[in-house]
Chain A
Amino acid sequence: MIDRLTYEQVLNVAKALRTEAEAVEEVAKAREIQEIVDFAASVESYAKFLENTVELNKDADKALEDLTGK
């Protein structure tokens, strides 16, 4: 769990955000609207942040298990 969300929920949101951001980026690049391209890039960065956060928490959980197991 990360706060009130499970790892799976966070990863699903990250995947969905990345998909929608790519769609926005595609239509924005076709019209050369740089501001919207920047917005899509921000959303993709946030999706990456969520994935990294999940990985960090999983590693922390594993480290904690190793410590308590000893």
Chain B
Amino acid sequence: MDDYNRYVTAVNKIYDYLEKMKAGWNNMDNKNYIDNIDDYKSIVTSRAEEFKLPRTVQVEKTENLEEEVEEETPEDQHRQQPPPPPMPSQGGYAGGTTVSVGNRNLDVPGLPASFVPSDIQPRVPVSEGLVE
């Protein structure tokens, strides 16, 4: 039996039983209790058509997606780290500036303005400088 038929059958039975109980009670409080459930009748009737539609997607799938987002691959961890500044000798800077070395002024393309010759760090061999 599909959901719509199950729903309609169950609701009809419920209201049949409630009518029997209402006829059997003398106590007004007990009859009022049944009337409170009768107040749902309009809602129950109006929403009946929705049971002809297919069932909605379950929540479990979204939880799996959230778990996938939280997991970080080693590549993602590497990408999140700020890239190390390129060494001056590699010439990887954008722009250019003039550097005073001794008595000469050298125009060095691609060198940042903040570069100071005394700040040159010893060149790190490629094999030791790789960040994994």
- A residues engaging B (CB < 8 A)? 2-5, 9-10, 13, 16-17, 20-21, 23-24, 27-28, 30-33, 35-36, 38-39, 42-43, 46, 49-50, 53
Interface size class of B (residues with CB under 8 A): 20 to 34
Give chain B nearest CB distance to A61 CB in angstroms: 17
Cα–Cα distance between A43 and B56 once the two chains are bound (Å): 24
Give chain A nearest CB distance to B63 CB in angstroms: 16
- B residues engaging A (CB < 8 A)? 3, 6-7, 10-11, 13-14, 17-18, 20-21, 23-27, 30, 33-34, 36-37, 40, 43-44, 47, 50-51, 53, 55-56
Q: Can you spell out 16 A-B residue pairs with CB atoms less than 8 angstroms apart? A: A2-B24, A3-B26, A4-B25, A4-B26, A10-B21, A16-B13, A17-B18, A20-B14, A27-B7, A28-B7, A31-B50, A31-B56, A36-B47, A43-B37, A50-B21, A53-B30
Contact B56 A24 (CB under 8 A): no
Chain B interface mostly helix, strand, loop or mixed? helix
Contact A39/B17 with A24-B11, A27-B7, A30-B55 known, Cβ cut-off 8 Å: no
Contact B50 A24 (CB under 8 A): no
Contact B10 A31 (CB under 8 A): no
Cα–Cα distance between A16 and B16 once the two chains are bound (Å): 11
